Amino acid sequence: MAELLRSLRDPQLVARFQRRCGLFPAPEDGAQESGAVPAEGAARAPEAEHRSAAQGKGVQGPANGRCRTAVPQTYIHKYIVKNYFYYYLFRFSATLGQEVFFLTFLPFTLWNIDPYLSRRLIIIWVLVMYIGQMTKDILKWPRPFSPPVVILEKRVVAEYGMPSTHAMAATAISFTSLLSTMDRYEYPFALGLTMAVVFSTLVCLSRLYTGMHTILDVVCGVLMTALFIALTYPAWTLIDHLDSASPLFPVCLIIVLFFLCYNYPVSEYYSPTRADTTTILAVGAGVTTGCWMNHFFQLVAKPPAPLPIIQNIPLLSADMLTLGLAKFTVGIAVVLLVRQLVQNLSLQVLYSWFQVVTRNKEARRRLEIEVPYKFVTYTSVAICATTFVPMLHRFLGLL
């Protein structure tokens, strides 16, 4: 078993997968490597710079969060693409597990498809992502070494690799959607299962293609999520009743989640993991609080129980598409405005409190500044998305 686990961590397996899919490192200084030489007339992908984090090096800083940027060993890493089908397929699939997807898919589901499904998706996503992010900074396993692996993403290269949170998020979103809709909507279960498997598989393979994870990282991410879903599925009905919890529930939830963010495992080097985790937990706190506010202040009409099974899902029409895009555009505009206003205000207050020079970007990485401003900003954004935006839709007649 130990030998199998070691083999699954081998970066050569990732490099071999990249080569099979037509992704090769470009020869350096005119030197040509065996198997990496482009064929005559082979297309070149846009050149990408890569800061190597193979040894786990990134931005160094002490445990108190006052981090200073350290200059790691760096080199230019160019790559050559011989198969553009796989290149665009996996680059697109990688975005399905990134922030841009969640910032569009989850609000769209909330405002246009099913707010109760969206709430369940968000809560499960938050729990799974917190487990994955925390596990990364506890295990501290590095990402695949480069070379031989070609690294296509730079932002998260300073993070640790085990487990793959992209794989966890994709598995959680796809199979939570399947399990939450199979008793509420009428559709072929085989079709839903196929879509869930295809979605999660594409995201998992994209993490190998982009060189961000080993096979073991991806497999463990999927298995951890599957185990989490299996253990928590019997309690999912409780999620539908969180909006009717005690009046003290939102206060307790916000305090607990903020405590988890502030006491996040300390890393030897600065990485965006803590900031991303704070954002995720803040979204969970905001969505849950917003749903609670909708119930206690009767801001949104609640459907009769039990929730009906829709016999025939209506086909997408031009009117439905126009209405959906209008609701999404209005909602995103409001959310982005609230995000900018709250972020600027919270940073100004924190800078003044801790006597930090305004616009000091390095100061944002300090624990006592990064966690509060991220948490306040995205809690406010999530509350706005679940309470104010639906009311604005009704006021504008976007129903």
pLDDT at 154: 77
* Span 163-209, pLDDT tens digits: 999 999 999 999 999 998 888 888 888 999 999 999 999 999 999 99
* Span 41-73, pLDDT tens digits: 333 443 333 333 334 433 344 434 444 333 333
- DSSP character for 110? I
Residue 357 has pLDDT above 80, yes or no: no
* Span 279-303, pLDDT tens digits: 999 999 999 998 888 888 777 655 5
Q: Extract the tokens encoding 71.
A: 């200059």
Residue 92 has pLDDT above 70, yes or no: yes
Averaged pLDDT for residues 15-21 = 91
Q: Extract the tokens encoding 61.
A: 């800083």
- DSSP character for 56? S
DSSP code string of 133-195 = HHHHHHH-PPPPPTTTSPP---TTTTS--SS-HHHHHHHHHHHHHHHHHTTTB---HHHHHHH
* Span 131-153, pLDDT tens digits: 999 998 888 888 888 788 888 88
The Cα 210–Cα 151 span in angstroms is 6
Element (H, E) at 81: strand 79-81
Q: State the pTM of this model.
A: 0.81
Q: How far apart are the first and last CA of the chain?
A: 56
Higher pLDDT, 113 or 225: 225
pLDDT at 398: 83
- DSSP character for 49? E
**Which residue among the candidates 166, 241, 295, 393 is catalytic per the annotation?**
166
**Which residue among the candidates 213, 241, 295, 393 is catalytic per the annotation?**
213
User: Which amino acid makes up residue 55?
Assistant: Q
Higher pLDDT, 399 or 141: 141
The Cα 215–Cα 24 span in angstroms is 19
Q: Is 213 a catalytic residue?
A: yes
Residue 265 has pLDDT above 50, yes or no: yes
* Span 208-219, pLDDT tens digits: 999 889 999 999
Which of 160-164, 248-252, 373-377 is predicted most confidently? 373-377
* Span 366-396, pLDDT tens digits: 888 888 999 999 999 999 999 999 999 989 8
